[in-house]
Structure 1
Amino acid sequence: MKVLCFLGFIALVAASPAPIHKRGVYKVERVPNPNYTGRNGPRALLKTLRKYRMPIPDGLMDAVAKADIEMISRRQIGSSRVRRQATNTTGAAALAAAGNTTAGAAATGVGLVTATPEQNDVEYLSPVDIGGQTLNLDFDSGSSDLWVFSSQLSTAATTGHTVYDPNKSQSFALIQGATFSISYGDGSGAAGNVGTDTVNLGGATVTKQAVELATAVSQSFVEDTNNNGLLGLAFSKLNTVKPAQQKTFFDNVMPSLAEPVFTADLKKAAVGSYEFGRVDAAKFTGAMTFVPVNTTQGFWQFTSEKFAVGTGAVQTSVAGSQAIADTGTTLILAEPAVARAYYAQVPNAVNDAQAGGFVFPCNSNLPDLMLDIGGTMAKVSGSDINFAQVDAQNCFGGMQATPANLQIYGDIFFKSNFVAFNGGNSSLGFAPHA
């Protein structure tokens, strides 16, 4: 997601990808997941900092270890918090059902599949068909690799996972010598070889799409048995395949879409979707605002130099400050001036090094936060900023201060806003959810 750590080896150029469905609209729905055992605020913050190569504040590693131990203890005694209304399928069963659910909409040019947010909106997973095999992948607008758990991994690494087996696909072709190696924020990563295959995302289909087959994955991915890989939706210049970068699924499928866009409708505790090919006006209120995106670094990046707390006056944080819209990040990392001003309006909120960041009493009535998106203000609901419980009284803030000159707006931003990514003119659109 990020300024990624790119490790490369040797590869050859893949055959030109070929989209095979023309002028379509394709939708990937998400549903709530009740298989929820609690969030880890310090770990979510650490993941984002590492993902973007940002400095790690003193004390954060200790806070992560402490939160890990407390979460394990809560799970062992059967304690679970913040259970939300959901469907009657749970956990792996819900994901399995998602992988088998498609709408018979081929005749109308609309594809539909379900998608399930893991750990209650911490990570969004969607079923993707690769060479006739369905895997649940994490859609990430902050990275540009499509990699999967493959049959080349050891049994120990794949236990509980659905794996992609190139030998079971009639359309797979190996790119001789091509490799990928990618590292994400929490130190997690994957590496392996590369081929091409037909990739179908709810009806949006590309033949000869680069698919990166993991031969090594980090332990955190091994333990996350719901997730079988990532589908990157940033710009292709971030792709890690060597020696020749490969195009993302979105770049390849754009010519076949009714409009060169995809949208993220990631509302909290309600059915949402990723949709390719249109901006559905029924999903938002008012007029959608589009702002230009700076693609220099390969991200969906824009200026964000102003903010407001609740109904207060608009303030300037840092002139020229930049931010990234990242569906693969959970938290919001904002300029320190924004974080300080926001939590100053929350009674008894403190920046607690032992907890890893800003914390506040869990029963706080949090104000809304207004963020500058390319010159227009967007609201983040205060209720979404109450992210995770730290102890019996205190909660960890879903908005923290960035230690670098870059702001990251993750899923907490998306929960309040319907967002459109326009690849045709490199712009980002947003409006409040309907």
Structure 2
Amino acid sequence: MPSYSTAALVALVGTSLASPVARHEFQKRDTYSFRQVQRGTYTKNGPAQVAKAYKKFGVSVPSVVNAAVSAAAAATTGSVEATPEDNMDSLYLCPVNVGGTELQLDFDTGSADLWVFSSQMTSSEQTGHAIYKPSSSATKKNGYSWDISYGDGSGAAGNVYADKVVVGGVTATSQAVEAATSVSSSFTSDTDNDGLLGLAFSSINTVSPQAQNTFFDTVADQLAKKLFAVTLKKGEAGTYDFGYIDQSKYTGEIAYIDVDSSEGYWGFTADGYAVGDGSVTGSSFSAIADTGTTLVYLPDEIVDAYYAKVDGASYDEQQAGYTFACSTDLPDFSLSLGGAKRTVPGNYINYAKVDGNNCYGGIQSSSSIGLSIVGDIFLKSQYVVFDKTQSTPRLGWAQQSSTSSSSSNGTASSQTKGSSSASAPAATSPTPTPSPASTGSGGGFGGSGIFPSGLPSGFPSFGGGSSGSSSSQGSGFSESQSSGSSSSSSGFSQEAANQAFNEALAAAQAGGF
């Protein structure tokens, strides 16, 4: 039975009682329960559980069991949930255990650094974020540093540790963790996001004097298959699967194309494109697949050809991109990849409202960027395999087995973590620094400079709330509450407080308090 100290109970009671409650309202409860929440999935390892039982009861683990554990570990697989941060799918966050602390990280196939908010930053920069504190098993890599910048001028820098990192049950026991000592304001203001996990090629890692391996490269040899598969979703949580291909997540065949990794990215050549029900136009071009970029950036002739089929669409100089009436039915868009036609539904291409009547397109020009980028607007319609099982890396493309039922105006389901109000795209052109092309976190090019923060009064905020709002990053949830506001306006419930106290009292009494 658990025991409860007087101080602990007083603290718990004090937390529960935000306003006076009459003593007669407190009632002893005979039963209580807590709901468990699953944060990741991984393949069950029977031998590991046997070994765990031996160790728990102080029995030496037989060599045959240790051998079985090692054999099972050599075929590791795991899956982690990727949740949209806001209602426009500007970026997706995944729970990652770094040195014993769970952080919410943006997985980015367009960069190769695993960097995190850390205890070495100023207290003001840490506010609202889950923070990496080097664990007792961490080793500082003396003389090593890192410095990364993004196309909007945002960036971060710091020093380097080797520490344990766990993603969906897949463990890297000595992973390079880049602990931030300073970050730009756009990162600190995005309190949902605690850093970034790069999944490009390790050759573009920014650690000096020697580049470090990405998480994927660190664990690749222990995976059942040397690959990871990405299933991003519109307006709902998707997954990153490591070491296996999940046939339930796609339809038809996977079309594979070779990857050009010479620049450190998952580069490929598309055979052509199609608009709506039209036939494929055989105009090949090179691009990269980047989960850290929100929109799709393509050659001008392709972009112009698409919007020529959109009624009333025009290039808006102030928005640095194509806009159209929000009520417009957009045509689908397809890429020919490995001889197969892969399609994003037209409603996915309606990214965000510019004003009350006009919306911003999810396909824009790559001319000022210097490379074409297939970002989340397209990727969230696909099951994409990032494959290193062959001598030449390759990308696999298949249509997802189901699509989101989200409406075409860019509004996501209630499962998204971010703000519920849409914001107009930034007026300046969202251009990334070509190396690295990482773009997905911090309010830069990945989100097209958009990290909406406004919420209706009394509405709970999942990050990016108004200045001065409190934040509990452990769950990614924060409640905005202005000074002097009533309990109801901040989401506080007197009934809930009473229930919390009753449950705490019952637990204490059950423990012999």
Fold conserved (TM > 0.5)?
A: yes
Correspondence list, 1:122-141, <5 A: 122-141=90-109
Distance 1:103 1:339, change over 3 A: closer
For residues 290 and 306 of structure 1, the distance between their equivalents in structure 2, rounded to whole angstroms, comes to 15
Name which of 113, 116, 119 aligns with 1:148.
116
- Secondary structure in 1 matching 2:103: strand
Q: Which has the higher strand share?
A: 1
Taking a change above 3 Å as real, the CA distance of residues 396 and 276 of structure 1, as seen in their structure-2 partners, is: same
Query: Contact 1:302 / 1:374 at 8 angstroms: preserved in 2?
Result: no
**Cα distance 1:147–1:292, how it changes in 2: closer, same or farther (>3 A)?**
same
2:394 matched residue in structure 1: 427
Question: Does the 8 Å contact 1:303/1:375 carry over to 2?
Answer: no
Q: Give the CA deviation at 1:378.
A: 1.4
Q: Does 1:344 align with 2:308?
A: yes
Residue 218 of structure 2 aligns to a residue whose secondary structure is helix
2:204 aligned residue (238, 243, 246): 238
Correspondence list, 1:413-424, <5 A: 413-424=378-389
Matches within 5 A, 1:165-314: 165-166=133-134, 169-314=135-280
After superposition, give the CA deviation of every residue in 1:345-370 in whole Å (9 maximum; x if it has no partner): 11111011122210111111111011
**2:83 match:** 116
CA distance, structure 2, for counterparts of residue 230 and residue 405 of structure 1: 23
Q: What's the counterpart of residue 377 of structure 1?
A: 341
Corresponding residue number in structure 2 for 1:395: 359
Please tell me the root mean square deviation across aligned C-alpha atoms, in Å: 1.7
Assess if the C-alpha contact under 8 Å between 1:267 and 1:433 holds in 2: no
CA contact (8 A) 1:115 1:273 kept: yes
Q: Sequence identity of aligned pairs in percent? A: 49
- Give the Cα–Cα distance (whole angstroms) in 2 for the partners of residues 294 and 113 of structure 1: 27
Match of 2:449 in 1: none
The Cα of 1:146 is off from its aligned counterpart by: 0.3
**CA apart distance, 1:112:** 4.8
The answer to whether the 8 Å contact 2:260/2:268 transfers is: yes
Distance in 2, matches of 1:314 and 1:333, equals 18
Q: Which AA in structure 1 matches 2:104?
A: N
Q: Say whether the 8 Å CA contact 1:284–1:432 is kept in structure 2.
A: yes
The 1:232–1:103 alpha-carbon spacing in structure 2 relative to 1, beyond 3 Å, is closer
Matched, 1:101 2:101: no
Q: Which runs of 5+ in 2 are unaligned?
A: 1-35, 47-75, 402-513
Offset at 1:134?
Answer: 1.0
Letter in 2 for 1:371: L
The residue matched to 1:197 in structure 2 has which SS? strand
The alpha-carbon deviation at position 195 of structure 1 amounts to 1.1
AA at the equivalent of 2:251: T
**Cα offsets for 1:352-406 (capped at 9, x unmatched):** 1122210111111111011133443311111100001111211100000111552
Could you tell me how far apart the structure 2 residues matched to 1:171 and 1:183 are?
29
142, 157, 182: which one pairs with 2:125? Answer: 157
2-side partners of 1:115 and 1:409: how far apart? Answer: 18
Cα distance in 1 for partners of 2:81, 2:262 equals 33
What is the match of residue 367 of structure 1?
331
**Separation of aligned partners in 1, 2:260 and 2:81:** 31
Change (3 A) 1:102 1:307: closer
* TM, length-normalised to structure 1: 0.74
Q: CA deviation at 1:306?
A: 1.3
Residue 84 of structure 1 corresponds to none
Equivalent in 267, 287, 293 of residue 323 of structure 1: 287
Distance 1:428 1:231 in 2: 19
Q: Tell whether the 8 Å contact from 2:77 to 2:242 is kept in structure 1 after alignment.
A: no
CA distance in 2, matches of 1:106, 1:181: 38
Find the aligned partners of 1:367 and 1:424 in 2 and give their Cα distance.
Answer: 36
Task: State how far apart, in whole Å, the 2-side matches of 1:295 and 1:115 are.
Answer: 25
Q: In the superposition, relative to structure 1, how do residues 112 and 284 fare at CA in structure 2: closer, same or farther (>3 Å)?
A: closer
CA–CA distance in 2 between the matches of 1:107 and 1:124? Answer: 28
**Which secondary structure does the structure 2 equivalent of 1:341 belong to?**
helix
**Residue 408 of structure 2 corresponds to residue 408 of structure 1:** no
Q: Distance in 2 between matches of 1:199 and 1:265?
A: 22
Separation in 2, partners of 1:104, 1:315: 42
Tell me the CA shift for residue 202 of structure 1. Answer: 1.2
- Any unmatched runs of 5+ in structure 1? 1-96
> Aligned with 1:315: secondary structure?
coil
Distance 2:281 2:164 in 1: 49
Give the secondary structure class of the aligned counterpart of 1:129: strand
Query: Given the superposition, is the C-alpha separation of residues 104 and 295 from structure 1 closer, same or farther in structure 2, using an over 3 Å criterion?
Result: closer
Equivalent AA in structure 2 for residue 134 of structure 1: E
Q: CA deviation at 1:185?
A: 2.5
Pair member with larger Rg: 2
User: Amino acid of the residue matched to residue 133 of structure 1?
Assistant: T
Q: Deviations over 1:259-296 (max 9, x none)?
A: 11101101213442000001111100001111100010
**Alpha-carbon distance, 1:111 to partner:** 4.2
Which residue does 1:58 correspond to in 2?
none
| In 1, Cα distance between equivalents of 2:159 and 2:126 | 17
Q: Using a 3 Å threshold, how does the CA distance of structure 1 residues 251 and 136 change in structure 2: closer, same or farther?
A: same
What SS does the corresponding residue of 2:252 show, helix, strand or coil?
coil
Residue aligned with 1:330, SS = coil
Shift of 1:133: 1.2
For 2:381, the aligned partner's letter is S
Q: How many residue pairs get matched?
A: 333
Which region of structure 1 is more displaced relative to structure 2, 213-222 or 398-407? 398-407
TM superposition shift of 1:105: 5.4
**Cα shift at 1:143:** 0.2
Deviations 1:185-218 (A, max 9, x none): 3221110000100111111111111000100100
Give the AA of the match of 1:429: G
Letter in 2 for 1:330: T
What is the CA deviation profile of residues 97-155 of structure 1, one whole-angstrom value per residue up to 9, with x for unaligned ones? 97x73458543665454442101321111111112111111000000000010100001
Indicate conservation of the 8 Å contact 1:306/1:371, yes or no.
Answer: yes
